[in-house]
Amino acid sequence: MAKIVGVVASLHRDGLSSRLVNSALEGARAANAEAALIHLSDYVVPQWSDGNVGKPKELSEAFEGMDGLVLCAPVYYLDVSGLAKDFMDTVKLPDVSGIPGLGISVAGGTGKGLTSALKTIYYWFFCKSIRGIDPLPVSRFNLEAAVGQARASGRKLAELADSGRNPFRDLAERIAYHQALPFMGYEYVDEMALLVRQLLAAPHGKGAVAEARARDLYEKGARLIGEGRKLEAVGPIVEAYEMLYY
Ligand SMILES: Cc1cc2nc3c(=O)[nH]c(=O)nc-3n(C[C@H](O)[C@H](O)[C@H](O)COP(=O)(O)O)c2cc1C
């Protein structure tokens, strides 16, 4: 039986990160995995220093025998929370080479930072030689759909974990694998365009006229992005975002 560990890197015990990790672990359990939930708020996770590596010991021990990892971080100023970063820097994991990992970022305010923070998580997976799957960027606008996606990805993670670890052959394969993952090549304007797509599908309450206008602006921006004219795309994409933002 595969062991999946889910980590909530927020100080809110019942917040959005907790909801998303619980959903992923539900999916893992549906695939007959053993699922363990870790709230980092239950521990004192120190900043990295020579003397702090692997602390707290009982937290590092909770990862022993892990076959797959779920990590969800709230977005603070366009990046992962400090708690998530301290966890990444300081906590000692067993050999995780080639195990699957599911990263989730949740930007519960304006939504900005949902992909930049996600990239931090997947860069960390890269450094740890974890095989990241299904990067999941979450805002208030796609939250309900994301909870369902987390469940499906949790199930997939458990199935992959069950079939054994799949270590990377070499650095070139590891880099190519990372670079091919969705969202990893996103710049700021790509992130804003993603938020507009999420808003267009959300109950924004701005009415049909505003929605049609925002859609036109989005399409103009998306065309410019497709042509590599990203700086010119910023104006129409941001205007569409501001029209639908709630
Ligand atoms: C210091 C700080 C910075 C934040 N920065 C952002 C941000 O850049 N983008 C955003 O959408 N939300 C931002 N937020 C809101 C959090 O992402 C939001 O509260 C998140 O849902 C928290 O997840 P949780 O409920 O799991 O704690 C910020 C919150 C704090 C406390």
Pair (122, 212) in one structural domain? no
Residue 11 — pLDDT band, cuts 50, 70, 90? very high
Q: What is the pLDDT of residues 157-189, one digit of tens each?
A: 999 999 999 999 999 999 999 999 999 999 999
For tokens 């590092």, name the residue. Answer: 60
Q: State both tokens at 24.
A: 């992923």
Cβ–Cβ under 8 Å, residues 94 and 67: no
For residue 79, the ligand 1 atom closest to its alpha carbon is: 8
Pair (54, 114) in one structural domain? yes
Q: Which residue in 125, 234, 224, 239 sits closest to 183, CA to CA? A: 125
Pair (106, 208) in one structural domain? no
Pair (223, 112) in one structural domain? no
Q: How many domains does the chain have?
A: 2
Q: Ligand 1: which residue has its CA nearest to atom 12? A: 109
Per-residue model confidence (pLDDT) at position 88: 97
Whether residue 152 has pLDDT greater than 90? yes
Q: What is the pLDDT of residues 15-63, one digit of tens each?
A: 999 999 999 999 999 999 999 999 999 999 999 999 998 899 999 999 9
Pair (85, 146) in one structural domain? yes
Pocket probe for ligand 1: among 20, 76, 77, 138, the residue whose CB has the most ligand atoms within 8 Å is 76
Q: Ligand 1: which residue has its CA nearest to atom 29? A: 76
Cβ–Cβ under 8 Å, residues 196 and 214: yes
Q: What is the CATH number of the domain that holds 8?
A: 3.40.50.360
Task: Please give all residues whose beta carbon lies within 6 A of any atom in ligand 1, as ranges.
Answer: 10, 12, 15-17, 74-78, 106-113
Pair (232, 142) in one structural domain? no
Pair (176, 238) in one structural domain? no
Distance (angstroms) between ligand 1 centre and the Cα of 193 equals: 20
Pair (40, 154) in one structural domain? yes
For residue 11, the ligand 1 atom closest to its alpha carbon is: 27
Distance (angstroms) between ligand 1 centre and the Cα of 243 equals: 22
Pair (108, 219) in one structural domain? no
Cβ–Cβ under 8 Å, residues 134 and 71: no
Q: Ligand 1: which residue has its CA nearest to atom 20? A: 108
Q: How many CB atoms lie within 10 A of CB 241?
A: 22
Pair (9, 92) in one structural domain? yes
User: For the whole model, what pTM was predicted?
Assistant: 0.98
Pocket probe for ligand 1: among 12, 38, 75, 245, the residue whose CB has the most ligand atoms within 8 Å is 75
Q: Ligand 1: which residue has its CA nearest to atom 23? A: 74
Cα 183 from Cα 203, distance rounded (Å): 24
Pair (194, 170) in one structural domain? no
Write out the residue range of the structural domain in which residue 134 sits. Answer: 3-180
Cβ–Cβ under 8 Å, residues 169 and 44: no
